[in-house]
Amino acid sequence: MANANGPRKINLSANPTPKALAELMIGDIVYLSGVVYTAREGIYARVLENGEAMPLDLPTESAANFHCSPAATQNEDGSFVLGAVTATASFRFSKWIGAWLKASGAKLIIGKGGMSPADYRDHFVPNGAVYLTTVGYGTGALLGRGVKKVRDLHWKAELGLAQAMWVLEVDKFGPFIVESDLIGNSLFERENARIAEGISKAYEGTRPAVLKRFGETDDRTDELI
Amino acid sequence: MISIEVVEKTAQILMKKAAIEIPDDYHSGLKKAAIEEDGDLSSFVLEAMLENYAAAKEDGRAMCGDTGCPRWYVKMGNEAQIIGGPVALESALRRATANATHSVPLRPNRVHPLWRTDHDNNVGIGAPEIEYAFEPDGDWIDLITVHKGGLFGTDYRMLFPSDGIEGIKRFYLDSLVAFGKRGLACQPAIIGIGLGGSKDSCMVLGKRAACLRIVGNRNPDQKIAKLEDEFKILGNSIGMGAMGFVGKSMVIDCNIEVGYCHTGGMQMSVHAFCLSSRRAVARIFGDGRVEYRTDPAWFTNYQRRETVEWQMPTAQEKST
């Protein structure tokens, strides 16, 4: 078992100050309090491609965009039952993220697996945003516990429960891990580089397939995203 | 005769159990991995997952917010009879899936691939998948639900006899490394490998090896069992742990299933059954009794038979 103290733990507002953001280091564990909202491809396409108005005042109400669809339902009386909450993989939203950061003023993007170094450099750093990754994935029950209230659900009829925008009041919502910082360092990139050093040992005694695939590479520092 | 009400009620309980309760075999495997893990971040992740399983059980909420794709495996003893027949059975499983999506709640994941139509209940064209198998005797049916997570961690490749074990190992490592980075595969996982069959059945074998065999279980072919041991160690020697962080917990177990294939080929598939390995099983007997368990016990000698005719098991085998 590893060091019992483990990584540093930080409580952060979902509308963080520039100072609080600057203090975050990759690998820190973060718990959020305040308001977070879910937005993924359905919302991005509606706002950024169809030009629809934001259904809430961003970033005043929240600066934390969660790439997520909760395991939740709405009762006939309008009330909500929210169980577990787990992120979805963020790299698929690359084509919208720059415009979204500008339009929404989001400072925290929360999701699964991080985004590419180019996304951090070109979009996150200029907009003063950082990326928090969920843990596991996913600690759905722990995150569910951190949701105190569903404040609102936008575009349910248009997008369905999974793609709709859930506005969540949260307290000590986490854990999350700081994946990118304000200058664009990436925890996943760092770990990939460390693992790459020893990876060839595991491959000893194996051989490439006789039938190749187009575009195939033997460079194991490559990534799929 | 098995009543459809019992089928539906049992199926709905299974949906809930699968979503909330981590199966004992996987739980033990992960606890062992957490003790052995020495990477700081990987350790933190594993401890958080263990805490998450406890929270899910305590609160009665799903352990993962991404329900994956709920699916059903139905196995019927040769003498099993269901009132209303297989059509009533399928309706009951579809109703249980839809109802449990609201009552647990689960995330409604299933949408039309093109029009993205969402019924908000995990039911639609071809969803949930329902697969069948039969056993030579018994008046029972086994209902198994698996909520198979993930868009990542699965791959297929046509290998050839000349690729040999070295080629199998290479594709296995490639799959783990490619989808293990950033933890896209939600490892450490039960890795299932399908070898042989044809392209579709190879995928089915690998998925079943991951989802329908438990941690610690071994293929009855001694040489395959040895490969399973070897592959587990190999996967954990990459240097990668949970979420793609430096570590050594990638594979909780590796299960291999084979099927006879074309003489010129050696199909291979790799599947990862994620950190929330959701499966639940119940046997419904002809007299209406229901017994719950977590081991699907899918791969019997009958399922793996090699011969034209099936030799009925001896009385001694039957009793075990």
Q: How far apart are CA A130 and CA A127, in angstroms?
A: 9
Q: In A, which residues are within 8 Å of B176 by CB distance?
A: none
Minimum distance, in Å, between the CA of residue A191 and any CA atom of chain B: 5
Same domain, B266 and B124: no
Same domain, B142 and B8: yes
Helices B24-36 and B40-59: angle between axes, nearest 10 degrees: 150
| Structural domain includes residue B109 | yes
Contact present, B238 and B176 (Cβ < 8 Å): yes
Same domain, B134 and B77: yes
A29 and B44 within 8 Å at the Cβ level: the answer is yes
Same domain, B78 and B107: yes
B43 and A223 within 8 Å at the Cβ level: the answer is no
Going by pLDDT thresholds of 50, 70 and 90, the confidence category of residue B208 is very high
| Structural domain includes residue B37 | no
| Structural domain includes residue B36 | no
A161 and B120 within 8 Å at the Cβ level: the answer is yes
Best B26, B107, B168 residue to mutate vs chain A (most A CBs within 10 Å): B107
Same domain, B113 and B182: no
| Structural domain includes residue B116 | yes
pLDDT at A224: 86
Q: Considering CB atoms only, which of B52, B106, B242 is closest to A71?
A: B106
Q: How far apart are CA A170 and CA B269, in angstroms?
A: 41
Minimum distance, in Å, between the CA of residue A122 and any CA atom of chain B: 20
In the predicted model, what is the mean pLDDT of residues B195-224?
Answer: 98
Compute how many other C-beta atoms are within 10 angstroms of the C-beta atom of residue B309: 6
pLDDT higher than 70, residue A1: no
pLDDT higher than 90, residue A182: yes
Name B92's Cβ contacts closer than 8 Å, sequence gap at least 6. Answer: B4, B7, B8, B11
The amino acid sitting at B18 is: A
Question: pLDDT tens digits for B137-194?
Answer: 899 999 999 999 878 889 999 999 999 999 999 999 999 999 999 999 999 999 999 9
| Structural domain includes residue B49 | no
Same domain, B72 and B124: yes
Helices B4-20 and B85-103: angle between axes, nearest 10 degrees: 40
Same domain, B199 and B266: yes
Joined together, the tokens standing for residue A109 give 């993007």
Q: In B, which residues are within 8 Å of A71 by CB distance?
A: 19, 61-62, 64-67, 104-107
Domain A30-197, classified CATH 3.20.130.10, yes or no = yes
Q: Is B300 exposed, middle or buried (0-12, 13-18, 19+ CB in 10 A)?
A: middle
pLDDT higher than 60, residue A178: yes
Give the range among A62-66, A160-164, B84-88, B156-160 with minimum mean pLDDT: A160-164
Q: In A, which residues are within 8 Å of B251 by CB distance?
A: none
Q: How far apart are CA A48 and CA B143, in angstroms?
A: 45
A88 and B66 within 8 Å at the Cβ level: the answer is yes
Q: In A, which residues are within 8 Å of B269 by CB distance?
A: none
> The domain containing residue B219 runs over which residues?
150-276
Q: In A, which residues are within 8 Å of B52 by CB distance?
A: 136, 138-142
Q: Considering CB atoms only, which of B35, B65, B118 is closest to A138?
A: B65
B181 and A160 within 8 Å at the Cβ level: the answer is no
Same domain, B264 and B180: yes
Best B30, B181, B186 residue to mutate vs chain A (most A CBs within 10 Å): B181
Q: How far apart are CA A184 and CA A136, in angstroms?
A: 23
Question: pLDDT tens digits for A3-38?
Answer: 556 799 999 999 999 999 999 999 999 999 999 999
Going by pLDDT thresholds of 50, 70 and 90, the confidence category of residue B320 is very low
Pairs across A and B, CB distance < 8 A: 229
For tokens 């609201």, name the residue: B102
Q: In A, which residues are within 8 Å of B237 by CB distance?
A: 201-202
Same domain, B168 and B235: yes
DSSP one-letter code for B25: H
Residue A51 gets the label, from left (phi > 0), alpha (psi -120 to 50) or beta, of left
A188 and B182 within 8 Å at the Cβ level: the answer is yes
pLDDT at A3: 55
Name B90's Cβ contacts closer than 8 Å, sequence gap at least 6. Answer: B130
In the predicted model, what is the mean pLDDT of residues A39-65?
Answer: 97
Question: pLDDT tens digits for A120-149?
Answer: 999 999 999 999 999 998 899 999 999 999
Q: In B, which residues are within 8 Å of A26 by CB distance?
A: none
Same domain, B168 and B223: yes
Provide the domain count of chain B: 2
pTM above 0.90, yes or no: yes
pLDDT higher than 70, residue B231: yes
Same domain, B239 and B300: no
ipTM, interface predicted TM-score of the complex: 0.93
For tokens 């209230």, name the residue: A149
Question: pLDDT tens digits for B33-91?
Answer: 999 999 999 999 999 999 999 999 999 999 999 999 999 999 999 999 999 999 999 99
A138 and B34 within 8 Å at the Cβ level: the answer is no
Q: How far apart are CA A144 and CA A126, in angstroms?
A: 32
Compute how many other C-beta atoms are within 10 angstroms of the C-beta atom of residue A28: 18
Q: Is the peptide bond before A138 cis (omega within 30 degrees of 0)?
A: yes
pLDDT higher than 80, residue B240: yes
Partnered with residue B269 across adjacent β-strands are B156, B194
pLDDT at A225: 84
